[in-house]
Amino acid sequence: MASLSKNIFRIAIMACLVSIALTGCKASGHDSPSTTQPPLTSTAASAPPQAADEAPPPEKTGGFDGKRAFAHVAKQVSFGPRPSGSQAIMQLQDYLQSELKSYGCTVETDAFTADTPVGRLPMKNILIKIPGEKPGVILLATHYDTLLKENFVGADDGGSSTAVMLELARLLCPQHGKYAVWIAFFDGEEAMKQWSDTDGRYGSREMAARLSISGDIKKIRAFLLADIVGGRKAQFLRESSSTPALVDLLWNTAAKLGYSSIFRNDATSAEDDHDSFLKRGVPAVDVIGDFVNNGYWHTPQDALDKISAKTLNAYWL
């Protein structure tokens, strides 16, 4: 897993770029992040992952810190269930913005209201923009809300991908790459009652619509969505609605590096936030764990004990 931890983030970025050379987005050379890392504002910063799931130190992974990512998951879980419109998700929004600003990120927010089957709810998308030298944007994304279900804290479903994007933001915000990288944190991915075209994906639908109106959606060369990426035994399947070229590039590169045991060639289908961008012509890939077979998807068992710092670390770097 040590060599894996040095390469997989590059695979994920390559899958987004297709033929674009994102050489300025590596944690190396003059664009290296500062060795002085802002402290976690999380009270869970000291929450240790279980020994068997220890992540390698950041100096061996290009800077990505699996323990920090694990602490971000622990912090989110400490707020309890975080469905859209809840007091807990508002606490999380404050936490996300505080963390991102502490990394030097330029933070934009879009507070909006959404008509849902349980009433009109306040929601908020959070977006950071890391400038680049050339036209074109690579958009990375996660959702940070949890399913509206009693005792559901969404450690993996919502928590893990949000933690990964926070850690990527910490590494990327100090840099100035060849191409711009945006990182979006969507509210309202989960359905409030029954998944449908109108119940669920509230945040990504809102952002895709706004970017279409502004014309900025034309700048997005590729969209990479992460979801359910922190499980101890995570497996990643080819998501069938994603742009084939992006899926093929990611999986083929993983296979060449010997990681087929993680990136399996089996197919899965996931209705997710990438759909909002696919429908508007943006090439997109949903990198999502095998939620159908993980044994805890959308149950109260999706708790911190399901998360591995090693998985958070190893998959992305």
DSSP class of 54: P
Question: What digits encode the pLDDT tens for the residues 250-299?
Answer: 888 777 766 688 889 999 999 999 999 999 999 999 999 999 999 999 99
What is the rounded CA–CA span in Å between residue 316 and residue 8? Answer: 5
pTM for this model (two decimals): 0.86
What is the rounded CA–CA span in Å between residue 243 and residue 263? Answer: 16
What is the rounded CA–CA span in Å between residue 102 and residue 18? Answer: 32
- Which run of H or E residues covers position 265? strand 263-268
In order along its 317 residues, the chain shows pLDDT tens digits of 333 433 444 444 544 433 332 323 333 333 333 334 555 554 444 455 554 467 767 766 668 898 999 999 999 999 999 999 999 999 999 999 999 999 999 999 999 999 999 999 999 999 999 999 888 999 999 999 999 999 999 999 999 999 999 999 999 999 877 889 999 999 999 999 999 999 999 999 999 999 999 999 999 999 999 999 999 989 999 999 999 999 988 888 777 766 688 889 999 999 999 999 999 999 999 999 999 999 999 999 999 999 999 888 755 54
Question: In the chain, which residue ranges form alpha helices assigned H by DSSP?
Answer: 2-5, 8-17, 66-78, 87-102, 161-172, 202-214, 244-256, 274-278, 309-316
